[in-house]
Amino acid sequence: MGANRLDGKVCAAKVESSLSSRIRDLAERGSSPHLAVVIVGDDPASHVYVRSKERACERLGIRSTRIDLPAAASFDKVLATVESLNQDPDVDGILVQSPLPRGMDELAITDHILPEKDVDGFHPVNLGRLVQGRLDGLLPCTPAGVMYLLKFAELDLTGLKAVVLGRSRIVGMPMALLLAAKGADATVTVVHSRTTDIESHCRGADLIVAAVGRPEMVKAAWVKTGAIIVDVGINRVEDSSVKGYRLCGDVEEDANSVASYMTPVPGGVGPMTIAMLMSNTVRAAEMRKTS
């Protein structure tokens, strides 16, 4: 039969349409939301992601400004760029695309973004609010998008055994917090590179969120019948049968035949990340206009 598809494109379109009227309201009050994206260097994947974010802004009538800095830009230059965006009253949201060039202190850059303009939700103030169980602020976009997608499918997570693979500050750790938060009420295990017997953790899971960036690491045979699979991975792998590359997730696609629900790759989590960024940008603009 195959798993039900957790369709991020359909769900993201719903988020975008619900944002339209809020953007109109802001525009009528003379303050259309404005997102500034800083990209340092020429990592091809990052440029593709940033372009998708700009296109979403264009679709929604959110103003966006992209600041391209060379890979050789100094830490002080990146910090000064963030500082000028902090000071600019016309900018509502600031995003510094990760990864930054090797050796640059990403956390220090994140710390410097004003929390109220931190549309990535990575600033310690915003992550701290999440740890406190306050879910009304600027939440990290990918985990927030996953939660929205699960809710959209009307899935009740109460008491489910959730396994999150990956412990990054961008996805894994905030994902675990959101799943365990009051209202979601899953029981969460975070699996990482030092975890022993990852397979048995996966076999016991009712919900797997895979965010490790390792192609097809989670085998279909590890997936319990009826489990829910959310695949955050988007990996480019060489494929001789198509004489080029193909995209795959962190979970084998065959898991589809045992799972109850599964996200496609692409078209699952990716569109939700962008929709949540748009949502955070609108929220940041609203908060700043009313404060």
Site string for ligand GUN, 30-49 (x = CB under 6 A): --------------------
Q: Is 243 a catalytic residue?
A: no
Q: Is 253 exposed, middle or buried (0-12, 13-18, 19+ CB in 10 A)?
A: middle
Closer by beta carbon to ligand GUN, 223 or else 278: 278
Query: Among residue numbers 109 through 148, which ones bind ligand GUN (CB under 6 A)?
Result: 120, 141-142
Contact 158, 186 (CB under 8 A): yes
Site string for ligand GUN, 211-250 (x = CB under 6 A): ----------------------------------------
Q: Is 182 a catalytic residue?
A: no
The span from the CA of 88 to the CA of 81, in Å, is 11
CA atoms in the 13 A half-sphere facing the CB of 282? 24
The span from the CA of 206 to the CA of 20, in Å, is 35
Residue with CB nearest ligand GUN? 98
Q: Which of 7, 92, 97, 118 is catalytic?
A: 97
Q: Which of 53, 117, 118, 250 is catalytic?
A: 53
Closer by beta carbon to ligand GUN, 36 or else 217: 36
The span from the CA of 181 to the CA of 239, in Å, is 40
Q: Is 120 a catalytic residue?
A: yes
Pick the binder of ligand GUN from 60, 78, 81, 98 (CB under 6 A): 98
Please report whether residue 170 would count as binding ligand GUN according to CB under 6 A. Answer: yes
Q: Is 218 exposed, middle or buried (0-12, 13-18, 19+ CB in 10 A)?
A: buried
Q: How far does CA 290 lie from the centroid of its chain? A: 26
Catalogue the active-site residues: 53, 97, 120
Binding-site ranges for ligand GUN (CB under 6 A): 95-98, 120, 141-142, 170, 273
